């Protein structure tokens, strides 16, 4: 295209914002957008992406919404992450994180301020960075199991579920695939899909066939589960123990010597620890995962699990205790970088430590006490 027109609708016309047409897109500048919230950058990058996904690669955005908005949302997040870094939707109010966009507002009278939203004062405080993938994840978990993703746009249970299943979940599905394949292989997949299907009408099956052809793998199991079941991904490190190896009481023959082991003779075992880690699949979706185990002497061990059974146990006898275990996305290349399993609906159970870390609780208690103290000082003014 020789030209691209970007229209930023005037105030009061925001219903026309965020829409895509060939060579014409509409933006949507928000009044009082907080400093580091990517508005209107995010929506412009998104609508520009549609020049490719449906514009050139003419997928059916009504009947296969995930293929249209999903691939576009994935592209959008990659561009935003590369160009701008993390967005900032959460900010701190006196060190407590608060959802950034709409709190502590001053409402303006309709005349003459029609179309100008309330002024959010609090958003000009401290900000907390939030990556594109965290942002998408927080919207995905709200409707993770409400619908099967592969549906026509009008067939989802709610408008929120349409949004999750057409934008955020497919973006996370593709990002998880990228983490598995590696960025270069994923880029080859996307380039081939684009070059092969521009000026044509690809379907979901065409996309899956392209993935399988370029990777040389059969990844039907991945798409079948995530596109055609409403299943949930949830892995957990459910148990972690690490105990000194103790000799059993008794009389032993050790190098020709008669040795009697009493209860107090723990040290006899030579300072070894027996560790056990249980990892469980709580959701119905089966994905391979990687687990990283950290020992007290700094040694790191990596384990892979296909996730087919509901659980698996790992046992170690090592001169050092296990300190922690954490679950990540599996990678085709065993030396590939570790990424969080973005499709997991519960991150709180994805890792476990042998000893609880009390520092965060102390930090929050200290903050809480500080504000209680201030509040009591305020009250004392009335005494
Ligand atoms: Zn869109």
Cα of 43 to ligand 1 centre, how many Å?
9
Cα of 262 to ligand 1 centre, how many Å?
72
Give the Cα separation of 116 and 107 in Å (integer). Answer: 9
Cα of 334 to ligand 1 centre, how many Å?
35
Cα of 22 to ligand 1 centre, how many Å?
13
User: Low-confidence residues of the chain, pLDDT below 70?
Assistant: 32-36, 88-104, 120-127, 247, 263-270
Cα of 79 to ligand 1 centre, how many Å?
15
Residue 63 contacts residue 73 (beta carbons within 8 Å) = no
Cα of 331 to ligand 1 centre, how many Å?
29
Architecture of domain 5-228: Orthogonal Bundle (1.10)
Residue 58: partners with Cβ closer than 8 Å, 6 or more residues away: 197, 199, 200, 201, 202
Cα of 16 to ligand 1 centre, how many Å?
13
Cα of 58 to ligand 1 centre, how many Å?
13
Cα of 175 to ligand 1 centre, how many Å?
17
Cα of 223 to ligand 1 centre, how many Å?
22
Residue 169: partners with Cβ closer than 8 Å, 6 or more residues away: 66, 70, 140, 144, 149, 226, 343
Cα of 153 to ligand 1 centre, how many Å?
12
Domain with CATH 2.60.40 in the chain: 235-359
Question: Residue 273 is encoded by which pair of tokens?
Answer: 């620890």
pLDDT, position 165: 95
Looking at residue 109, what DSSP letter applies?
A: P
Cα of 72 to ligand 1 centre, how many Å?
7
Cα of 165 to ligand 1 centre, how many Å?
13
Q: What is the CATH number of domain 235-359?
A: 2.60.40
Domain with CATH 1.10.390.10 in the chain: 5-228
Phi then psi for 198, rounded to 5 degrees? -70, 145
Cα of 3 to ligand 1 centre, how many Å?
20
Residue 322: partners with Cβ closer than 8 Å, 6 or more residues away: 240, 242, 273, 275, 277, 293, 294, 295, 296, 316, 354
Protein residues near ligand 1, an ion, with CB under 5 A: 69
Interval 111-155: pLDDT, tens: 777 777 777 665 555 667 778 898 899 889 989 999 999 989 999
Cα of 103 to ligand 1 centre, how many Å?
27
Phi then psi for 360, rounded to 5 degrees? -60, -40
pLDDT, position 352: 96
pLDDT, position 108: 80
What ipTM was assigned to the predicted interfaces of this complex? 0.96
Cα of 68 to ligand 1 centre, how many Å?
8
Cα of 45 to ligand 1 centre, how many Å?
10
Cα of 300 to ligand 1 centre, how many Å?
42
Cα of 55 to ligand 1 centre, how many Å?
11
Give the Cα separation of 193 and 187 in Å (integer). Answer: 10
């Amino acid at each position: 295209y020789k030209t691209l027109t970007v229209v930023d609708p005037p105030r009061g016309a925001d219903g026309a914002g965020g829409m895509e047409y060939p060579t014409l897109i509409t933006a949507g500048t928000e009044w009082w957008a907080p400093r580091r919230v990517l508005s209107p950058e995010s929506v412009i990058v998104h609508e520009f992406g549609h020049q490719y996904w449906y514009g050139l690669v003419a997928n059916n955005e009504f009947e296969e919404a995930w293929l249209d908005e999903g691939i576009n949302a994935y592209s959008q997040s990659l561009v935003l992450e590369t160009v701008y870094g993390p967005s900032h939707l959460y900010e701190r109010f006196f060190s407590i994180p608060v959802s950034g966009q709409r709190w502590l507002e001053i409402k303006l009278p309709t005349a003459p301020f029609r179309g100008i939203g309330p002024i959010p004062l609090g958003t000009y405080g401290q900000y907390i960075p939030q990556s594109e993938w965290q942002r998408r994840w927080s919207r995905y978990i709200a409707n993770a199991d409400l619908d099967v993703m592969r549906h026509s746009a009008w067939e989802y249970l709610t408008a929120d579920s349409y949004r999750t299943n057409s934008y955020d979940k497919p973006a996370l599905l593709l990002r998880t695939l990228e983490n598995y394949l590696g960025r270069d292989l994923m880029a080859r997949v996307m380039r081939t899909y684009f070059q092969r299907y521009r000026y044509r009408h690809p379907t979901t099956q065409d996309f899956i066939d392209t993935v399988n052809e370029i990777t040389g793998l059969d990844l039907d199991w991945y798409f079948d589960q995530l596109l055609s079941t409403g299943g949930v991904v949830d892995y957990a490190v459910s148990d972690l123990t690490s105990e000194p190896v103790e000799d059993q009481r008794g009389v032993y023959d050790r190098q020709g010597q008669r040795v009697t082991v009493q209860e107090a003779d723990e040290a006899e075992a030579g300072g070894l620890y027996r560790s056990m880690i249980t990892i469980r699949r709580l959701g119905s979706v089966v994905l391979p995962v990687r687990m990283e185990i950290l020992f007290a002497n700094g040694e790191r061990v990596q384990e892979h699990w296909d996730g087919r059974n509901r659980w698996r146990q790992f046992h170690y006898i090592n001169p050092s205790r296990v300190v922690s275990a954490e679950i990540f996305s599996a990678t085709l290349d065993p030396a590939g970088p570790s990424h969080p399993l973005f499709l997991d609906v519960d991150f709180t159970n994805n890792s476990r430590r042998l000893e609880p870390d009390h520092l965060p609780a102390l930090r929050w208690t200290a903050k809480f006490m500080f504000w209680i103290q201030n509040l009591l000082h305020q009250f004392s003014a009335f005494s």
